[in-house]
Amino acid sequence: MENSTLEEYYGTLSQTINALNRLGYDLDFNVKEECLVCHQISEQLSPEDFQIDKVYRFEGASDPEDQSILYAISSTKHNKKGILVNGYGIASDDQTSNIISKLRTHDNFISLHIKQNNATPQRPDNNRIIFAPKVEIDLNEMMNQLTSEASWSEKGHNSMSLFKSDKLRIVLMGFKKNEELKAHSTKGIISVQVIRGRIKFTVDGESSDVQTGQMIVLDSGITHSVIAVEESFILLTIGMGGSSD
């Protein structure tokens, strides 16, 4: 069961870590094969030795790679409490994700059959469902929200995660004219679909002009970049299964 004494929202990732530290969650856990390990106390916890008291998710203000998930963890058996921080976006650590997936069979694991995005400073009223057996999304509404937020006017781009699971991520991204998503690669096969506007999609120095109603599919690990030729919105879909091989 979730720990009812923990608040739903403490602020940013660093603010949440500090708040949990003050509440006694002062150990830093990491994943080692089939258990959690804390180097501060040289101790290992098997799945049956601990429970997850609370889960916090943090969505980047404008970059889909800037996302993370924090677990508040306690062990009655060892009388220890601490945190495990795992990337929950494109840069999610495979090993950590695998053990978290295994923990879903644990009796004390929090049910995540329906997930909602936690509130953030940018989106204080955020309560969108991002994973469920059925998720309905109004893209026009989401695009309007992106352009109404401070990141759009201040930085010229903005993004929002629409769906998150272990195997699939869908991110809506918006760019003002000439804004750029710098060269990077992704752990997973991606598709980039332009739903409004026109972009220049570049791979290995070769650029493709992608317009409304067109899309590009790219294998995992391939470096690419995006420039908005005009104000544009794209749907980035990430299959976390890796290469088609």
Has residue 114 got a pLDDT over 90?
A: no
Q: What is the pLDDT of residues 2-40, one digit of tens each?
A: 565 888 778 888 889 999 999 999 999 888 766 788 877
Nearest to 6, CA basis, from 23, 29, 28, 26 = 23
Residue 91 in tokens: 């840069």
Topology, domain 137-239: Jelly Rolls (2.60.120)
Q: What is the pLDDT of residues 148-207, one digit of tens each?
A: 999 999 999 999 989 988 789 999 999 999 999 999 998 899 999 999 999 999 999 999
Please list the alpha-helical segments (H only) found in 6-77.
Answer: 13-22
Q: What is the pLDDT of residues 54-105, one digit of tens each?
A: 888 776 554 555 567 888 999 998 899 999 887 554 445 555 666 666 565 5
Q: What is the pLDDT of residues 35-51, one digit of tens each?
A: 788 877 778 888 888 88
Residue 114 in tokens: 């329906």
Nearest to 61, CA basis, from 135, 162, 134, 160 = 160
DSSP class of residue 124? T
Q: Supply the pTM of this predicted model.
A: 0.57
Question: What ranges do the domains of the chain cover?
Answer: 13-116, 137-239
Residue 217: CB atoms within 10 A of its CB come to 12
**Predicted confidence band at 210 (pLDDT cuts at 50, 70, 90)?**
very high
C-alpha span between 83 and 73 (Å, rounded): 6
